[in-house]
Every structure is written in structure tokens, then in C-alpha cells.
Chains A and B, each alone.
Chain A
Amino acid sequence: MSTENKKKNEVAKIKEDITQTVLARIQDFQEAGELTLHKNYNAPNALKAAYLVLNEVKTKDGKPALTACKPSTVAQALLKMVVLGLSPTKGQLYFIPYGEKLECTVSYLGEILLAKRFAELKEINANVITEGEVFEFGVDTKTGRRFITKHSQTLESIGNDDKIIGAYAVYTLNDGTTNCDVMSMKQIEQSWAQGSNGPAKKNFKVEMAKRTILKRAIKQILRSSDDSALHNVADEKKVDETKGYVDNKVNKEANREVFDIDDVDFEEVKEKKSVKQVEAPTQEASAEEKPQPGGTQAKAF
């Protein structure tokens, strides 16, 4: 077997092991009622998709992340993905290896999805403001919310990456509330200075500026959301207790006890009207076990 094949097999083996570990863990959580997946989320599918993505992920020195990172951290990253209910193929998250550790980082698209799911976000849009555009905004002193009164662009002004002077994001929640967040280019650049300085921020300044303002706006919505939204999501995929109970009973108890009519002898063999076992209920019995008024006895189904 060539070394390459060996490596391939190694990766395949790791994949299989981790799939099983993660799926088993998810199942444990679900069975214990500790994890509720979103109704539109298919964990096994997302895990398969994650492996397609993970196969391409390499560490800084070009090693495949699946062999370079500790399996436990891979499992953790995948678990985070499943718990959040995000899809790696849609760019909702990234797997980033830091040395031996694989991390799952939520992208701004993933954050928008989470805010829509958990924080009642209906819509969010971001724009950049470039030099020469009219942009007017103010603050509603009653609520402290910012609002934009005017933003007029021209064909000349848009796409002028070097002359961005700021960006804003406007969002609407499901209850109709709108709010906006505004950042000047100076603030945006300060924010960029906190992270790595990749080429994207130079080459796609407009998109990166939008991303920055979107992330900041979403952070406010998402982190200030309470747990009620989570409970609603939990309700959407509640455990079908009745079905589970019934299936369990049926599996364990149905069609088991062998019944042979010939094994049961008559208690008393006599003509129909004087069968000994057959007797009218006594007065005491009926007094003792009267049906509950309004009980189910009189219902017809």
C-alpha cells in the first residue's frame, strides 16, 4: 500500500470515528432532552457536508486539518455546528485550525441566520456611504434609536472603494421595530485593526465594511435576545412522547402471551340464564366504584 493510500485510509478512518462520536453524542443529548435541534436542520446531512468542507481545510503548514487536529477538537467543532444548527456549505461557519485545535467560527451569514431564528430578526441590510453622497441621520430622543432620514447615491459614488466614509445597517424585527447602526470609516478601520490583516480588507473594502457593520448590529440583537425564542424553537421539534410511549409498549408487550381457548375451562357449565360466574353486581360494589361524574365513561369515540 502506498503512503498516499495509507494517508487516505487514515483520514477516512478518522472521519468515520468522528462521525460516530458526534452522532452518538448528539443522540445522547437528544435522548436526555438536553438538546433540541431546529426543525429545519438535518444533523446527519450537515455532518456529511462538514466532512466535505473539512477535507479541504489545511493548517498553516499545509497539512490536512483532519489529521493535524486532535479528534476531540474536531468533534467539539462539529458539535458546535450542530448545536447552533448551521450549515458549512452555505458559508454559515468556517472550520479554522489553530495548531492542533480545530475551531468552528460562525460567519456573519451564520449570525444573521441565528438572529433570524432566535432573536426575531426579520430583515437586515447594510450599505456603505462614500464621499459625495448625501447621508442624513439622527437619534430618536424618546427611544435612543438611530434613524436615517436620507441617503442618496449616484452611479459615480457607488463602488468607490477608496472613498468610503462610513457604513450603516438597518434592521427590522418581527414585531415591526426598526433600528439602525452607523459606523464611520474610522471606527470600521479601528475594528479591522483588531484582527488579522488579510488581503480581503484591501481588495473588497465595500463588502468587508458591510460585513463589519452587519456583525456589530447583529451582535446587539443576538446577544440581547432572551431564552424565550429558544423555547419556541424547542417547541417546534418537541419529542413525540405519546408515539414513543406507544411504540415502546407495543415493542415490549404486544402479541406475546400465548392464549389457547382450549386451556381455559368453564367455571360453570350451565344454561345461559344460570351461569354461576355470571351475576348482577351487588349494591355495595356499585356504590363503591361509582364512575366519576364527567369522566370518560360516557364519551364515544
Chain B
Amino acid sequence: MEFTVLGSGSHGNCYILTSENGDQLIIEAGIKLSRVKKFLDFNLNNVLGVLVSHSHLDHAKAMKEMTESGINVYASSHTIEAMDIKSHRVKKIEAKKAYKIGPWKVIPIEMKHDVPCFGFVLNHEECGNVVFITDTYYSPFKFKNINNWIVEANYSEEILDGKEGYGNQNDFLRNRVLSSHLSIENCWDLLKKNDLTQTNNIVLTHLSDTNSHAENFKRMTKEKTGKSVHIAETGLNINFDKRPF
């Protein structure tokens, strides 16, 4: 299994999981379809589907185009209605129900954002159990036997309220960030509360341009977890197997 980042952050999110036989599961439709197509060499045949977490454009921008290109898009009823999509390609999914998308088991879980937002717990025999969490100010859940984490680390409290952060300039944005995104501190707390013995990779996603520090986030997360930690930057492509070897 390979994990590729086509975009992560408020300018657009899109992640692709490619299994050994070439099947692809896309998470988030927050970048232009043309960029996705380019990455896929204009071959959409292997795309099993797209999971969309919520209706904000950095996650759902290309939803409609994707359905029009014949890709199945899986999202909550709220997201489907907010994006106003009426296509047989769009599939309504509900929290805590398991869906089979090809060889994948997909379970949406409810996150804590300012609009209804899904995280996903996924399973595939190559990458084992995967947690995908984004746009939430905390995770209500702790998980069992997770092999790979894709988790938001949007801001650090220190930077947010520091000299350069929003805290100093814009109360509205600061308070919005606080109550709708996961801080690196709360991300660490989440990882700490979970048993990471089975964990291979931790990918930190959705880093804020203003309120985060990629290098420090990566280094400190590595120190705290002892795991292989990656920052989701456009172009990141890593092995995403169940075990490192």
C-alpha cells in the first residue's frame, strides 16, 4: 500500500491510497479534479471511490466533477445536500456503519467541527487498520489496533497565541480555529491515549500556514511516539503497509 498526498491544508485536501494491484481509494475532494487526473495518469478505472469528510470547499470542491467523471463519492447527507449534488454516483454514508468499497472496509465516525464532519476508520489487508481524522477539535474516540494514522495537526497553541499567530491579530479566526481544528497538543494527547504498538506510520495533516511549525511538529511527535512520522506535504508518497518490513 502506498499513501500519497496531493494536497493537505486549507488550500485543498486530497489523499490517495494505492494498493499493490493498483486499486485506489481517494480521501477528500478538496483540489481540482484536473490535478487528481494528472496524478492518476488520466486513468480513473482503478479508483474505487472518494471519501469526503465534510462540506467545506478545501475538502469537497471537486465532489461534483468527480461524480461527473464516473467516480463514486461517499459522503454524509449533510455534505451531499450542502454541495447540492444529485447524481447516482454520490453515496450517502452514515456514522458508525461499515461499508465495503472493494477490498476496503470503511466506517465513518463523527468528528467535532463547525459543520457535520466525518473521520474514517479504514481497513485493508495491506495497510491494516487506518484512522483518518481531520477538521475536529478533538477525537471523541480512542481506537484499537491501528496500524496507520492520518491525523490533523492544525496548529500549536503556543504559535496561535504567539507573535505571528491568529491570536494576536484576529479573535474571530483564533476562536474558530480553537473550536474546529485539532491542535498538535490535542493530537499528541490522542496518540498518547491510544496503544501504538501496532502503529507503523503517523501522518500529520492539515497544518496551518500561520499557526504551525512542520519541522517541530514532526520532530516532537517522533520523540513522543517513537514512530515513523510524516508531514502531509503535497507530493509526499510513503509506504503504508501494516508493518514497516
Give the B-binding residues of A (Cβ under 8 A): 242-243, 245-246, 249-250, 253-262, 264-273, 275, 277-281, 283, 285-286, 289-291, 295-301
Contacts and interface: CB of A to CB of B under 8 A. Distances in A.
A286 B99 contact: no
28 contacts: A243-B178, A246-B137, A254-B139, A255-B141, A255-B189, A259-B121, A259-B142, A261-B105, A261-B123, A262-B145, A264-B96, A266-B98, A267-B99, A272-B48, A272-B49, A277-B93, A277-B94, A278-B74, A280-B87, A280-B92, A286-B84, A291-B55, A291-B84, A297-B83, A297-B115, A298-B56, A299-B56, A301-B58
Contacts of A246: 137, 178-179
A295 B87 CA distance: 23
Given A259-B109, A261-B123, A279-B91, 8 more contacts: A254-B189, A256-B141, A258-B144, A260-B145, A261-B105, A266-B100, A267-B97, A290-B81
Contact of A301 (B56, B99, B189): B56
A296 B117 CA distance: 13
B114 interface: yes
A131 B11 CA distance: 78
B107 interface: yes
Interface string B4-34: 0000001110000000000000000010000
A259 B95 CA distance: 12
Contacts of A266: 98-100, 105
A105 to B, nearest CB: 39
Contacts of B84: 286, 291
Nearest to B146: A261
Nearest to B137: A246
B72 interface: yes
Interface string B161-193: 000000000000011101110000010011001
